[in-house]
């Protein structure tokens, strides 16, 4: 059975969706870089072990990442799932977990990498928005996309309503992708990403239009 670690910094609603999904893999542990993250409580309520690794306690990014890496090795983790983890990871850490680490980002990548995605979508006047699950590579929000949730931007939407609506989609696509990885339906191979034995060119899309 695949052992999963979930890395969090905040509320952890995506962590909750993963817990509730009863995955084929086992969530072996949850790491937070913030003591106040509600995600820690969610993990504890579900009986999942937690580690608080505060980035502030480390002299630099590499030292912080080394501490996380060691924790992941101690838990014997196969897959790292970033769920609202708001730290940029060092190239060394990303390399160590290449093909074994996924992230969810609140935009239709490759559009709107980085922060404040909902407001930027509104500022541009886009009519479609959503979220993307992707493999993590050294370049921010740029790894192979595995699945996207797509929704229509309504005329009355603001950044908050969009964030809430995107969250609903995140809670559908993230457990689904993690389950596909757990069952081997998605595989990271030397020639790229295979989806059910076929090369995955474009992300699988879930639309709520």
What are the catalytic residues?
A: 105
Under the criterion CB under 6 A, does residue 12 sit at the interface with ligand GAR?
yes
DSSP symbols for 105-152: ESS-TTSS-SS-HHHHHHHHT-SEEEEEEEE--SSTT-SPEEEEEEEE
Under the criterion CB under 6 A, does residue 105 sit at the interface with ligand GAR?
yes
Under the criterion CB under 6 A, does residue 19 sit at the interface with ligand GAR?
no
* Least CB distance to ligand GAR at residue 203 (A): 15
* Least CB distance to ligand GAR at residue 167 (A): 6
Neighbouring CB atoms inside 10 A of 183's CB total 12
The two most distant CA atoms of the chain are separated, in Å, by 49
Which of 4, 5, 14, 48 forms a contact with ligand GAR (CB under 6 A)?
Answer: 14
Which of 134, 170, 177, 193 forms a contact with ligand GAR (CB under 6 A)?
Answer: 170
For tokens 């969610």, name the residue. Answer: 42
By three-state DSSP, how is residue 8 classified?
strand
Under the criterion CB under 6 A, does residue 11 sit at the interface with ligand GAR?
yes
Q: Are 110 and 137 a contacting pair, CB within 8 Å?
A: no
By three-state DSSP, how is residue 48 classified?
coil
Number of chain positions touching ligand GAR (CB under 6 A): 13
Under the criterion CB under 6 A, does residue 10 sit at the interface with ligand GAR?
yes
Considering the complex, state which of residue 113 and residue 152 has its C-beta at the smaller distance from ligand GAR: 113
What are the C-alpha distances in Å from 67 to residues 84, 101, 139, 162? 19, 17, 22, 35
Pick from 67, 65, 103: nearest CA to 85: 103
Under the criterion CB under 6 A, does residue 83 sit at the interface with ligand GAR?
yes
DSSP secondary structure code for residue 159 in this structure: H
Binding window for ligand GAR (CB under 6 A); candidates: 4-12, 23-31, 51-59, 145-153: 4-12
Considering the complex, state which of residue 120 and residue 167 has its C-beta at the smaller distance from ligand GAR: 167
Record the tokens describing residue 145, joined without a space: 């996309």
| x-or-dash string of contact with ligand GAR, 129-168, rule CB under 6 A | --x-----------------------------------x-
Q: Which residues bind ligand GAR (CB under 6 A)?
A: 10-14, 83-84, 104-106, 131, 167, 170
């Amino acid at each position: 059975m695949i052992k999963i670690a979930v890395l969090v910094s905040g509320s952890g609603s995506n962590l909750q969706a993963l817990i509730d999904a009863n995955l084929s893999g086992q969530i072996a542990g949850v790491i937070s870089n913030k003591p106040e993250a509600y995600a820690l409580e969610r993990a504890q309520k579900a009986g999942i072990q937690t580690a608080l690794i505060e980035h502030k306690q480390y002299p630099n990014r590499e030292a912080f990442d080394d501490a996380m890496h060691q924790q992941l090795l101690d838990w014997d983790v196969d897959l790292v799932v970033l769920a609202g983890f708001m730290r940029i990871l060092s190239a060394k850490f990303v390399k160590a977990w290449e093909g074994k680490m996924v992230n969810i980002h609140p935009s239709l990548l490759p559009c709107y990498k980085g922060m404040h995605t909902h407001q930027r979508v509104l500022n541009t006047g886009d009519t479609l928005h959503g979220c993307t699950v992707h493999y993590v590579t050294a370049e921010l929000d740029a790894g192979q996309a595995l699945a996207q949730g797509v929704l229509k931007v309504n005329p009355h939407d603001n950044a908050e309503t969009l964030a809430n609506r995107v969250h609903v989609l995140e809670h559908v696509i993230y457990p689904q992708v993690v389950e596909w990885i757990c069952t081997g339906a998605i595989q990271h191979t030397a020639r790229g990403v295979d989806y059910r034995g076929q090369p995955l060119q474009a992300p699988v899309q879930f639309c709520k239009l």
